[in-house]
Amino acid sequence: MENTLGLEIIEVVEQAAIASARWMGKGEKNTADEVAVEAMRERMNKIYMRGRIVIGEGERDDAPMLYIGEEVGICSQPDAKNFCNPDELIEIDIAVDPCEGTNLVAYGQPGSMAVLAISQKGGLFAAPDFYMKKIAAPPAAKGKVDINKSATENLKILSECLDRGIDELVVVVMKRERHNDLIKEIRDAGARVQLISDGDVGAAISCGFAGTNIHALMGIGAAPEGVISAAAMRALGGHFQGQLIYDPAIVKTGLIGESKEANLERLQSMNINDPDKVYDAHELASGETVLFAACGITTGNLMQGVRFFQGGARTQSLVISNQSRTARFVDTIHMFDKHPKVLELH
Ligand code: VTB
């Protein structure tokens, strides 16, 4: 599964990032998202695979493309029999976020990316469009920090695991009212807080890499993004835990409806019988093979954003595989014209 797909999914995220980056700083987040979705889908449908979107742009009725349940890949097309032998191919599940951080793109802010995760059928938790309480930390703290512990306790554990003072730790938290107490607690404990407006996937994954100066992600973000983060962190051997948030009293914005009871019913209809369960990275991304790919739209901690030049563009992507145990940074020059001015890049 990995050999061919590993290379092709780089192009999938690259194409989405390039399309979206053309809308960087234009103040139009929906367009920045739509073009990324379209580009991702178009490239995905050229891959020799039988894929199914398990985390995508939403339910079929609201999302014309990359909706949950959509089948993608050459071998899912109606005329697939002409060039595919379905028996030869395993079915794969795909979680996508073609433009993670639409506001970041629209306002030209750092940290947006096109991102996806792939696994065997059933290998990714089909998270509902709810919120998720999350904690991410470096591999050295895996299984030691715990979402059920207080931030203060977790910072002590992190400081021991990483062999550094609490004042040398940086915790990323999304700037939201719901996090005011959390932010105060982290500061009171002596650690430093990096507030971000959006984009907690990049923040979670940054914990998996030494040298990013990010040692933890704490707080509540979206659940689908939690699964994508977990896929990367599982492959990296980092710590990730998530717990669904279904109570509108905790998160008052967008994603979840007004009624806690209705949300609980919805979870039950999805066979999520223990709504308070804490999931670790292995449960959220449980497949034997887990592949993660991201391409920077705007520059972030891990990847450069898309840089256009006359006749082409340059991108930086990251592909992580749990099977080959690699995290591969890929620097690509895309030549749109026959004679791009490649040498005038800098
Ligand atoms: C979250 C976060 C994402 O949007 O979904 C956030 O996980 C939206 O949160 O990374 P609010 O509803 O509280 O605004 C992102 O930041 C970007 O998609």
Nearest atom in ligand 1 to the alpha carbon of residue 103 is 17
Choose among 54, 49, 89: nearest CA to 227.
54
Q: Indicate whether 340 belongs to any domain.
A: no
Domain count, the chain: 2
Mean of the per-residue pLDDT values of the chain: 93
Who has greater pLDDT, 331 or 266? Answer: 331
The average pLDDT across 307-317 equals: 96
CA of 306 to the centre of ligand 1 (A): 22
For residue 130, pLDDT beyond 60: yes
- What strand order describes the sheet that includes 216-222? 192-196, 170-174, 216-222, 131-137, 239-245, 278-280
Find out whether 48 and 77 touch, Cβ atoms under 8 Å: no
CA of 222 to the centre of ligand 1 (A): 6
The rounded percent of the chain whose pLDDT value lies above 70 is 95
For residue 254, pLDDT beyond 80: no
The average pLDDT across 236-241 equals: 98
Quickly state the pLDDT bin for 338 (edges 50, 70, 90): confident
Quickly state the pLDDT bin for 219 (edges 50, 70, 90): very high
Query: What is the pLDDT at residue 88?
Result: 76
Phi-psi region of 18 (alpha: psi -120 to 50; beta: other; left: phi over 0): alpha
Find out whether 36 and 315 touch, Cβ atoms under 8 Å: no
For residue 182, pLDDT beyond 60: yes
Half-sphere exposure of 304 (CA within 13 A, CB side): 12
Q: Indicate whether 166 belongs to any domain.
A: yes
Residues 6+ apart with CB under 8 A from 299: 110, 111, 305
Q: Indicate whether 94 belongs to any domain.
A: yes
- Counting ligand 1 atoms within 8 A of each CB, the residue from 225, 251, 284 with the most, and so the one to mutate, is 225
Q: Collapse the DSSP code of 217 into the 3-class scheme (helix H, G, I; strand E, B; otherwise coil) and give the result.
A: strand
Q: Write the CA distances from 20 to 16, 23, 98, 106, 210, integer angstroms.
A: 6, 5, 9, 9, 29
Given 258, 284, 310, which residue is the final one in a domain? 284
Provide residues with CB under 6 Å of ligand 1.
100-101, 176, 198-201, 221-222, 225, 253-255
Q: Are residues 55 and 110 in the same domain?
A: yes
Query: What is the pLDDT at residue 303?
Result: 98
Query: What is the pLDDT at residue 344?
Result: 54
Quickly state the pLDDT bin for 225 (edges 50, 70, 90): very high
Strands (E), the chain: 50-55, 71-72, 91-100, 113-120, 131-137, 170-174, 192-196, 216-222, 239-245, 278-280, 290-296, 307-309, 312-321, 326-335
Quickly state the pLDDT bin for 151 (edges 50, 70, 90): very high
The tokens describing 167, both together, are 């004042």
CA–CA distance, 233 with 105 (Å, rounded to integer): 24
In the chain, alpha helices (H): 2-21, 29-44, 102-106, 151-161, 180-189, 200-206, 223-236, 260-269, 281-284
Q: Indicate whether 188 belongs to any domain.
A: yes
The average pLDDT across 44-69 equals: 91
Q: Are residues 208 and 327 in the same domain?
A: no
The average pLDDT across 88-117 equals: 96
Find out whether 177 and 167 touch, Cβ atoms under 8 Å: no
Query: What is the pLDDT at residue 343?
Result: 55
For residue 195, pLDDT beyond 60: yes
The average pLDDT across 184-203 equals: 98
Query: What is the pLDDT at residue 59?
Result: 82
Q: What is the CATH number of the domain that holds 88?
A: 3.30.540.10
Domain span at 174: 131-284
- Counting ligand 1 atoms within 8 A of each CB, the residue from 132, 198, 217, 297 with the most, and so the one to mutate, is 198
- 322: phi then psi, degrees, rounded to nearest 5: -80, -20
Who has greater pLDDT, 158 or 339? Answer: 158
Q: Indicate whether 341 belongs to any domain.
A: no
Q: Are residues 254 and 324 in the same domain?
A: no
Q: Are residues 144 and 170 in the same domain?
A: yes
Quickly state the pLDDT bin for 298 (edges 50, 70, 90): very high
